[in-house]
Amino acid sequence: MERRQPVSAIGSVVKLIQEFNKLPGIGIKTAQRLAFHLIRMPSEDSSSLANAIIEMKNSIETCTMCQNITDFSPCNICNNPSRNNKTICVVEEPLDVLAIERTGSYFGLYHVLNGCISPTNGIGPDELTIKLLLERLRLSSEKANGNIEEIILATNSNLEGEATSMYLQQLMQPLGYKITRIARGLPTGAELEYADETTIAKAMEGRYTL
């Protein structure tokens, strides 16, 4: 049933509430609170917020190598000559890259899958960036000094993350790569992006060969 708005509601405010309500974790009450906070905000602050969103959407792109979001491609991780280009850490989301980078203990490259295999949500391997990962491996194997030695599977330790990791292992192990999985320092079901630095660093350090 369509939610009825009070007759006195101002169209533009209702629209803003609806837009906030589409964001993850924002219920209708919070959406209303945010909208009314913006009404009371000085114009320059609300303009600066609106501009930040527009600017971000206009400038952001996907790194052609790791598929992470970036201001320019290749991103500053792929493009950094001091990173270890023999190791690729495969993660589900850009936020996982941030979480691992925060530990300051990983110096290899990344590959962002943009999700995980989840049949219940209709997401299969083709919806992820797996083909691009395989292509990346193929291209690097053709370079004189670009051979990848280790692929770290750092998908979440929930059901979908484990299934994705297993799928990737079966796909890439026959190609001769050393495939490792991050340790289970993370509690089962935990998502990488919410774990603290020490837990992630320990999980990376304790990774084991599959």
Report CA dihedral (188, 191, 197, 200) to the nearest 10 degrees.
50
Given a contact cutoff of 8 angstroms between Cβ atoms, the answer to whether 90 and 153 are in contact is yes
Q: Closest CB to Zn ion among 94 and 161?
A: 94
Report CA dihedral (195, 196, 199, 205) to the nearest 10 degrees.
100
Q: Which of 16, 31, 75, 133 binds Zn ion (CB under 5 A)?
A: 75
Q: H or E stretch including 112?
A: strand 108-112
Peptide bond into 81 cis (omega under 30): no
What number of chain residues touch Zn ion (CB under 5 A)?
5
CB of 186 to Zn ion, least distance (A): 24
CB of 78 to Zn ion, least distance (A): 3
Kindly state whether residue 112 participates in binding Zn ion, applying the rule CB under 5 A. no
What one-character DSSP code corresponds to residue 123? B
Kindly state whether residue 65 participates in binding Zn ion, applying the rule CB under 5 A. yes
Residue 187 CA, distance from chain mean position: 19
CB of 109 to Zn ion, least distance (A): 7
**Adjacent-strand bridge partners of 208:** 181
Kindly state whether residue 100 participates in binding Zn ion, applying the rule CB under 5 A. no
Kindly state whether residue 66 participates in binding Zn ion, applying the rule CB under 5 A. yes
Kindly state whether residue 78 participates in binding Zn ion, applying the rule CB under 5 A. yes
Q: Closest CB to Zn ion among 35 and 78?
A: 78
Task: Determine the interface stretch with Zn ion among 13-21, 55-63, 93-101, 182-190 (rule: CB under 5 A).
Answer: 55-63
Q: Closest CB to Zn ion among 89 and 182?
A: 89
Q: H or E stretch including 153?
A: strand 150-153
Q: Closest CB to Zn ion among 73 and 169?
A: 73
Q: Closest CB to Zn ion among 74 and 115?
A: 74
Q: Closest CB to Zn ion among 74 and 202?
A: 74
Given a contact cutoff of 8 angstroms between Cβ atoms, the answer to whether 13 and 35 are in contact is yes
Cβ-proximal residues to 102 (8 Å cutoff; 6+ apart), any chain: 197, 200
Binding site for Zn ion (CB under 5 A): 63, 65-66, 75, 78
